[in-house]
């Protein structure tokens, strides 16, 4: 490196090695003359204030637009949810009488799909449903009557007699529903319930793989909520109670409005 130094210097003879005295230009170091203060129609204060106002206006616009979009999305979800799950059904109850969805209008319905040969999950879920029905009767009878329903997904084995035998194990008010393959297929399709029979063993015993969901229908037969297997009886009870309370408040509001409009 050091050896290279003089060579570079030699190559660039114009490099200035020490400072020559340079004449200081007279304008150096002098402050520029102060700009004349301009009092235009838009002062800094006005500009700032209108900026703040514009910002607030924009913020409000986006806030309002957000609210509107949220409301629209909610409405879309609501109608989609309504269109997607539930609907009317025609089945046969455990006394052998025809039973359709309209028969349960006016009551809150807890609806569970399963099969009577189910070894463990269905009995557990049915016990849970019975517990919820009793808890709701004790805590929220003023909010409406609750009707528990069991629908079989194994119509081949679960006839009227089998279903009748099964439901009395769980709750005195539980109604069991069965029907033809076609009827069961239709109700399961309406409620998006999956079911599929596994292979039969030598005793013609088989397992039916099925969706484990407890559905809640309002007194107009509309699907309002569902609970999976992980929800406890207490959780389901609290949630259904809230839904029933909200429904009652809405009904009161609507009938109040109707009374005002007609009265």
CB 125 within 8 A of CB 112: yes
Q: Which CB sits closer to Ni ion, 69 or 165? A: 165
* Furthest CA-CA distance within the chain: 118
Q: Which CB sits closer to Ni ion, 122 or 244? A: 122
Q: Which CB sits closer to Ni ion, 118 or 216? A: 118
Residues touching Ni ion: how many (CB under 5 A)? 4
Tell me: does residue 219 bind Ni ion (CB under 5 A): no
What is the C-alpha separation between 88 and 244, in angstroms, rounded? 21
Tell me: does residue 118 bind Ni ion (CB under 5 A): yes
Tell me: does residue 114 bind Ni ion (CB under 5 A): yes
The contacts of residue 224 (CB under 8 Å, 6+ apart) are 216, 217, 218, 243, 247
Q: Which CB sits closer to Ni ion, 136 or 213? A: 213
Task: State the virtual CA torsion across 6, 10, 12, 16 in degrees, nearest 10.
Answer: 70
Residue with nearest beta carbon to Ni ion: 118
Stretch that binds Ni ion, among 101-109, 111-119, 188-196, 239-247 (CB under 5 A): 111-119
Q: Which CB sits closer to Ni ion, 114 or 148? A: 114
What is the C-alpha separation between 262 and 80, in angstroms, rounded? 32
Tell me: does residue 72 bind Ni ion (CB under 5 A): no
CB 162 within 8 A of CB 155: no
Work out which of 91, 111, 122, 193 binds Ni ion, going by CB under 5 A.
Answer: 122
What is the C-alpha separation between 233 and 120, in angstroms, rounded? 17
Tell me: does residue 121 bind Ni ion (CB under 5 A): yes
Residues near Ni ion (CB under 5 A) are 114, 118, 121-122
């Amino acid at each position: 490196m050091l050896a290279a130094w003089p060579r570079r210097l030699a190559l660039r003879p114009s490099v200035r090695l020490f400072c020559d005295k340079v004449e200081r230009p007279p304008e150096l170091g002098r402050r520029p003359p102060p700009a004349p203060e301009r009092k235009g129609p838009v002062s800094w204060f006005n500009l700032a204030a209108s900026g703040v106002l514009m910002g607030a206006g924009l913020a409000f616009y986006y806030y309002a637009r957000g609210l509107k979009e949220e409301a629209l999305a909610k409405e879309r979800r609501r109608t989609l949810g309504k269109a997607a799950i539930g609907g009317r059904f025609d089945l046969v109850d455990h006394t052998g009488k025809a039973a359709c969805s309209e028969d349960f209008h006016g009551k809150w319905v807890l609806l569970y799909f399963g099969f009577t040969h189910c070894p463990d999950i269905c009995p557990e879920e049915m016990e849970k449903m019975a517990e919820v029905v009793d808890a709701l009767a004790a805590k929220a009878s003023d909010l409406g009557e609750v009707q528990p329903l069991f629908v079989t997904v194994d119509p081949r084995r679960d006839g009227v007699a089998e279903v009748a035998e099964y439901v009395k194990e769980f709750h005195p008010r539980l109604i069991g529903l069965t029907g033809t393959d076609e009827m069961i297929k239709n109700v399961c399709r309406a409620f998006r319930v999956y079911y599929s029979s596994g292979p039969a063993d030598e005793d013609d015993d088989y397992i039916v793989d099925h969706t484990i969901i407890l559905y809640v229908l309002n007194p107009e037969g509309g699907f309002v909520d569902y609970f999976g297997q992980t929800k406890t009886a207490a959780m389901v009870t609290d949630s259904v109670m809230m839904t029933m309370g909200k429904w009652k408040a809405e009904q009161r509001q609507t009938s109040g409005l109707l009374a005002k409009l007609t009265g």
